[in-house]
C-alpha cells in the first residue's frame, strides 16, 4: 500500500488489490471514452475545460464522487490535472518496483541446455559469470 496525496485529498492505494485494479481499469476505460469526445478545434479554454472534466470524472470514478473537488480545490487547471495523473502513475510505478524487488526471489530458475540458458540470460539482461584463471 502507498499513500496517494494530492491537494487536500489523500488515500491509501494498493495496486495489488483486485478490487482497486478493477476500479482503476473501469476508470481508465471511462477516461478513454471521455477523451474521445473532447473537441479537437475551438477555443483553447474550452478544450482545456473539457480535458479537465475528463480527469475530474476519472478521479471521481476511481476514488468516489467529489474527489476532484478535494484534489483540485475548485480550480480547473489542466496543468494540475496532468500533475495529478503523473503523481498517481509514480505511486503505481514505485509500488510495482517494490513488489517485484520483494518477490523476485521466488521466481523459478530457467532450466535448459547451454544455448537456451544463454538466450534466456541475454533476454533478461543478465551477464555471464566470469571465471578467472589463477
Looking at the predicted structure, is the pLDDT value of residue 15 above 80?
A: yes
How far is 63 from 56, CA to CA, in rounded Å? 11
Any alpha helices (H) in the chain, and if so which ranges? 18-36, 44-63, 67-72, 78-103, 114-124
Spatial neighbors of 40 by CB under 8 A, at least 6 apart, are: 47
How far is 110 from 101, CA to CA, in rounded Å? 18
How far is 4 from 131, CA to CA, in rounded Å? 47
Looking at the predicted structure, is the pLDDT value of residue 133 above 80?
A: no
- Residue 64: predicted pLDDT: 93
Per-residue CA distances from 91 to 85, 88, 126, 132 (Å): 10, 5, 28, 43
How far is 13 from 6, CA to CA, in rounded Å? 13
How far is 16 from 92, CA to CA, in rounded Å? 10
Looking at the predicted structure, is the pLDDT value of residue 85 above 90?
A: yes
Summary mean pLDDT of the chain: 88
Share of the chain above pLDDT 90, in %: 66
How far is 23 from 30, CA to CA, in rounded Å? 11
- Residue 65: predicted pLDDT: 93
Per-residue model confidence as pLDDT tens digits over 16-61: 899 999 999 999 999 999 999 999 999 999 999 999 999 999 999 9
Residue range 2-16: mean pLDDT, rounded: 91
User: Are 8 and 2 a contacting pair, CB within 8 Å?
Assistant: no
Amino acid at each position: 500500500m502507498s499513500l496517494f496525496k494530492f491537494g487536500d485529498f489523500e488515500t491509501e492505494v494498493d495496486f495489488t488489490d483486485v478490487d482497486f485494479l478493477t476500479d482503476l481499469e473501469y476508470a481508465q476505460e471511462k477516461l478513454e471514452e471521455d477523451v474521445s469526445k473532447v473537441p479537437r478545434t475551438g477555443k483553447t479554454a474550452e478544450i482545456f475545460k473539457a480535458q479537465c472534466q475528463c480527469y475530474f470524472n476519472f478521479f471521481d470514478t476511481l476514488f468516489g464522487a467529489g474527489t476532484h473537488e478535494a484534489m483540485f480545490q475548485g480550480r480547473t487547471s489542466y496543468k494540475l490535472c496532468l500533475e495529478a495523473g503523473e503523481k498517481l502513475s509514480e505511486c503505481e510505478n514505485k509500488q510495482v518496483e517494490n513488489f517485484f524487488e520483494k518477490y523476485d526471489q521466488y521466481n523459478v530458475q530457467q532450466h535448459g541446455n547451454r544455448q537456451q540458458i544463454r538466450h534466456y540470460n541475454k533476454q533478461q539482461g543478465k551477464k555471464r559469470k566470469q571465471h578467472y584463471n589463477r
